Amino acid sequence: MKKNTMTLMAAGVCAAVVAQVANAAVVVGWSIPSALTGTLTAATYAVGEANDGANKVGSSLTGVHAAATTVWSSPAGNGSTYSFSSNGWAIGDYYQVSFAATGYQDLSVSWDQARSSTGPATFTFQVSINNGSFTDVVASYAVGISASPNTWNSTTYNSLFTTTQALAAGANGAANVRIRFTANAAPTGGSPTAGTGRVDNIVVSGTAIPAPGAVALIGLAGMVASRRRRN
């Protein structure tokens, strides 16, 4: 009876820990809930901290362009009221999110991205971990055009504009992770001000890293189950 009770208790603890780890959580998320304010014509603009997620404190979303004449705006998002948008694009300009992955592993990021017909058509997905150099994770990906019948609007979400990308294991639990969506093509309209690009619904997800004690309990449950099988 004692062995069976111990086995059931250990198995129960193991199941609880595994369930906790398996459930993905929002680490940080930006849904751009408010219209942009402040200086909207500048080389850079800071949206600021994430509005969702366990690690939102200290996080940031920014846009960086070479042109000081860049205009930052917040038109309709992909099924949401606002997005983060800009013109004045040149190769190397980017949107960047920065956050702490402390306490989380198996990270992935999803985001919505669109452009005008003359906006930059391709971007590079880059990652920096703990202030290291940026690495190209996806050298080039295409960005769809927001135009009829697939125009971004505040009421209808369109999955065609959503991308999900897993992050390398090196990001697990990292104190600082930076992700850049970097333009690798110039606008096609002949003038930088002719093309716009926007992002929305940027969400970094992950699973909780189990505490050392929880890992030990999983090991104990395995040992108890193994002994039970031998008996």
Tell me: the pLDDT tens digits for 189-205?
Answer: 766 667 999 999 999 99
Sheet holding 177-183, edge to edge: 44-48, 60-64, 94-99, 177-183, 122-129, 135-142
Which pair of tokens denotes residue 166?
Answer: 């897993």
The strand pairing partners of 206, in sequence order, are 25
**What's the rounded Cα separation, in Å, for the pair 34 and 50?**
12
Mean pLDDT of 13-32: 70
Asked if residue 177 belongs to a domain, the reply is yes
- pTM for the complete prediction? 0.83
Asked if residue 16 belongs to a domain, the reply is no
CATH number (domain holding residue 199): 2.60.120.260
Asked if residue 230 belongs to a domain, the reply is no
* Helix runs in the chain, H state only: 2-22, 212-230
Residue-wise pLDDT tens digits, 104-151: 999 999 999 999 999 999 999 999 999 999 999 999 999 999 999 999
CB 141 within 8 A of CB 125: yes
**What values do phi and psi take at 217, rounded to 5?**
-65, -40
Specify the pLDDT at position 194: 74
Specify the pLDDT at position 213: 61
First-to-last C-alpha distance (Å) of the chain: 13
- Domain ranges, residue 46: 24-209
The domain tally of the chain equals: 1
CA 169 to chain centre: 15
- The dihedral through the CA atoms of 182, 184, 188, 190 has a sign that is positive
